């Protein structure tokens, strides 16, 4: 996994905020280029990587010149499990690399620059020197603002976030998701 992720993120500066998403061919076929354009042109992320859940998507991303990679998800049973485990594995790996990051699923759309969120602006400008007491920012569901939506989250790399995602990986091995 380390080697695959190192390749995927090789053109990124680990000290700078890196945005990432994941996709499979079903999502990629209709909106891959739009999501990449949105990440750079609307959300204004300086670094963006796509983690591919299948070989077709990986080939398409390479052909289009997008920063991308894949990790082996053969142990997972079904898309939900692959999505959950990929979120946690990549997030943990980025925190271990001391990389601040923004994750968003392919169905999350930015209508303006992500830097309008104060935590993003701080992470973009401070990188590893970020020393706020807030380590993570999660979204809420539109129809239930008290329910955490892990379709979008911001993370400052720290010992606490490393431990959090390590715990998530452990729990995901015990419990297969009913939803992602």
**pTM for this predicted structure:** 0.88
Confidence of residue 67 (pLDDT cuts 50, 70, 90): very high
With a cut of 50, say whether residue 180 has pLDDT above it: no
With a cut of 70, say whether residue 73 has pLDDT above it: no
**Phi, psi (rounded to 5 degrees) for 52:** -95, 135
Contact yes or no for 36/63 (Cβ under 8 A): no
For the chain, where are the E strands, in sequence order? Answer: 18-23, 48-52, 68-70, 101-104, 136-141, 144-155
Residue among 18, 13, 38, 29 at smallest CA distance from 52: 29
Contact yes or no for 86/69 (Cβ under 8 A): no
Q: What is the pLDDT of residues 128-178, one digit of tens each?
A: 555 566 788 888 888 888 888 888 999 988 899 999 999 999 988 887 665
With a cut of 80, say whether residue 72 has pLDDT above it: no
- More confident of the two residues 73 and 6: 6
């Amino acid at each position: 996994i380390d080697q695959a992720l190192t390749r995927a993120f090789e053109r990124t500066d680990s000290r700078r905020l890196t945005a990432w998403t994941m996709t499979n061919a079903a999502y990629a076929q209709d909106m891959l280029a739009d999501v990449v354009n949105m990440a750079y042109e609307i959300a204004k992320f300086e670094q963006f990587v796509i983690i591919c859940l299948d070989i077709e998507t990986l080939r398409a991303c390479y052909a289009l010149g997008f920063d991308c990679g894949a990790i082996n998800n053969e142990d997972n049973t079904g898309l939900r499990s692959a999505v959950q485990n990929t979120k946690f594995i990549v997030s943990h790996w980025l925190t271990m690399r001391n990389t601040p990051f923004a994750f968003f699923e392919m169905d999350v759309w930015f209508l303006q620059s992500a830097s309008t969120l104060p935590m993003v602006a701080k992470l973009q400008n401070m990188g590893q020197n970020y020393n706020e007491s807030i380590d993570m920012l999660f979204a809420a569901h539109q129809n239930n603002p008290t329910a955490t939506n892990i379709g979008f989250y911001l993370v400052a790399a720290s010992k606490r976030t490393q431990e959090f995602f390590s715990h998530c990986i452990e729990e995901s091995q015990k419990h297969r998701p009913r939803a992602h």
